[in-house]
Structure 1
Amino acid sequence: MMNTPRALPSLRRTELLAAGAATVTVGLWASAFVSIRSAGGAYSPGALALGRLLAGAVVLGAVCLIRREGWPPRAAWRGIGLSGVLWFGFYMVALNWGEQRVDAGTAALVVNIGPLLIALLGSRLLGDTMPPRLLAGMGVSFAGAVAVGLSMSGQGGSSVLGVVLCLLAAVGYAAGVVAQKPVLGRASALQVTTFGCLVGAVVCLPFAGQLVAEVADAPVSATLNMLYLGVFPTALAFTTWAYALARTSASRMGATTYAVPALVVLLSWLFLDEVPGLVTLAGGVLCLAGVAVSRSRTRRPAAPAPVPTPDLRPEQEQA
């Protein structure tokens, strides 16, 4: 069905809101890499994930109560449970663990195979289309991620275990996104995020003893970083992600996260005093360019104006 002129401004507004929500998500997720590195020296991977999820669950639960969101419908629980286990739980623990064993560049490179996995799973399981612009943009962004990873790979030690953990984190991330997408047609973005976060916290409860022991010895800065991870990159960014995902395809949203490595480079430059080289900066530009290409839409040609039909009636009938 063709869009009517009256519906076009509403559609454009929805696209702009989704793009804005995705931008918030990407920025906050990029900051999470810096915070994880800062807090990882004082907290073990499981304890950091549990603390982050508990902080996020408290904030999200309070917002749900204020907005009177209620419980998600029964049909949404399977997808919420899968995304909670795979993304909120497994992904966070694996990423925290992996970042303790590989440098930031290698971690960003490995984790950013996630959008490719999302595109493949989304095409196979959700019927997402794979337009040429999306494929081209993903290719450009992946080349940029490779450049960032290779340029930064000499700044820290790497290990086979760390690479494997980051790879597993990417798989959990991709599977969680694909499990979450159909649910957003049955429950609100806030419900999906809140209860997914709660499921992830339950999965991480075996690390509760570690969290209690480490909180007592951790410096205030590390604990504040953990709370920041829960409130902003989790509670806020996962909600804006779900909002945007409900209004676009999983493949297109996955491609958006290719901007994360570029922003991580910038944030590391500002907050960790890690000055990027020219190759790193070029890779970051490629990441952003690929996202721009993948999210652009081919303009449809305007429908031609209707040609008036000549009146062929005799002149006396026209009078």
Structure 2
Amino acid sequence: MGSEPPSRIKLFFAFAAIYILWGSTYLAIRLAIHTIPPFLMAGSRLFTAGAILYALGVRAGHPRPTRLHWRNAALAAIPLFVFGNGGVTWAEQKVSSGAASLVIATLPAWLLLLDWGYGGRSRPRVLELLGLGIGLSGVAVLSAPGGIKLDGVGVLLFAAIAWAVGSLLNRYSELPSSPVRVAGMQMLIGGAVMMALGLGLGETTRFDFAAVSVRSGAAWVYLAIAALVAIPAYTWLLTVTSPALVGTYAFVNPVVAVLLGWGAALLGWVDADEVLSARTGVAAWLVVLGVMLLVWPRKKPEPPSQESSTESTEVAAVGAGE
């Protein structure tokens, strides 16, 4: 890339990718699983995107991964994609895409706690603990009596914690130096395991390829493309701009997801539970405020190398949020 500063147009499109593409994947997941079983859908789209990314890494001439690299990639891929992305996909059968994005937005809180307890992070500051409490109170508002289903919330919280675990494994494990190759390896593994899980759960017995709607098929293609585009954009942004600025995706994504879900409900694409209610509005405000306190204060005092490493754990291989 050289020493020249990046053009504004490149920055614009890169931030659009991590803001809009990742935020929109929640709605795309719900549209896709309308006629495609969740684990077969998530596994096939990740496996496809992973194969393309891995091929790009091969074409670029990156060194071949070792057996240790594959083992470490697999250890992180299971919590990242099978439990993380797979959990979100399954939960969206019961929970609106907007609500799912708000629960998953608590990811920085779990990263903070896990990295403090098991990693090399110092004790959380008061503002960070305040952000943790505010963000989780937003989830409590969503799941209070009359809100979203508790089993959906439970799976989503488990998915967020699993994503944090996988992210930290990526941070502290020995992996190939190429982020594209790592992403390809992990999506190949995660996608294959999820497809096997779908087969084991009997999803093929209720899957009729001829019955897949145009909307679900288009959403599947969109999700695969989002994984291919957003990862390189995110990685590139970390090299050319402030990690704290890149980290703002964590509170922009749920806003994008809630608004898109609301719009889709008004168009009749999804169920009425996507309509923006007072409860969802309050929860969104609390979660976004909590994430802002978690993301911003903890990055500015840290040296650039540590910032980049910490920030990169928040999405690990693919955010696409999921």
Normalising by structure 1, report the TM-score: 0.70
1:150 corresponds to = 141
The superposition leaves residues 173-228 of structure 1 with CA deviations (integer Å, 9 ceiling, x where unpaired) of 11111111134774211111000001112212322584694433111210110121
Call closer, same or farther: CA 1:173–1:151 in 2, change over 3 Å.
closer
Call closer, same or farther: CA 1:121–1:299 in 2, change over 3 Å.
closer
Partner Cα distance (1:124, 1:21) in 2: 33
2:188 corresponds to = 198
Give yes or no for contact 1:117–1:171 (8 Å, CA) kept in 2. yes
2:154 corresponds to = 164
2:178 corresponds to = 188
3-state DSSP of counterpart to 2:296: helix
2:220 corresponds to = 226
Question: Is 1:101 paired with 2:94?
Answer: yes
Alpha-carbon RMSD? 4.3
Call closer, same or farther: CA 1:286–1:70 in 2, change over 3 Å.
same
Give yes or no for contact 2:47–2:189 (8 Å, CA) kept in 1. no
1:111 corresponds to = 104
Give yes or no for contact 1:46–1:93 (8 Å, CA) kept in 2. yes
Give yes or no for contact 1:87–1:177 (8 Å, CA) kept in 2. yes
Partner Cα distance (1:28, 1:176) in 2: 22
1:124 corresponds to = 117
2:211 corresponds to = 217
3-state DSSP of counterpart to 1:49: helix
2:47 corresponds to = 54
Call closer, same or farther: CA 1:205–1:148 in 2, change over 3 Å.
closer
1:309 corresponds to = none
What is the number of residues matched between the two proteins? Answer: 284
Call closer, same or farther: CA 1:106–1:149 in 2, change over 3 Å.
farther
Structure 2, gaps ≥5 residues long: 267-274, 304-322
Percent of matched pairs sharing the same residue: 24
Q: Which amino acid aligns with 1:77?
A: W
The equivalent position to 1:179 in structure 2, one of 169, 173, 182, is 169
1:63-102 superposed matches below 5 A: 63-102=56-95
Deviation at residue 103 of structure 1 after TM alignment = 3.1
1:293 corresponds to = 296
The superposition leaves residues 105-139 of structure 1 with CA deviations (integer Å, 9 ceiling, x where unpaired) of 5433433332211112222333134564xx62574
Larger radius of gyration: 1
Q: Which amino acid aligns with 1:82?
A: L
Deviation at residue 240 of structure 1 after TM alignment = 4.4
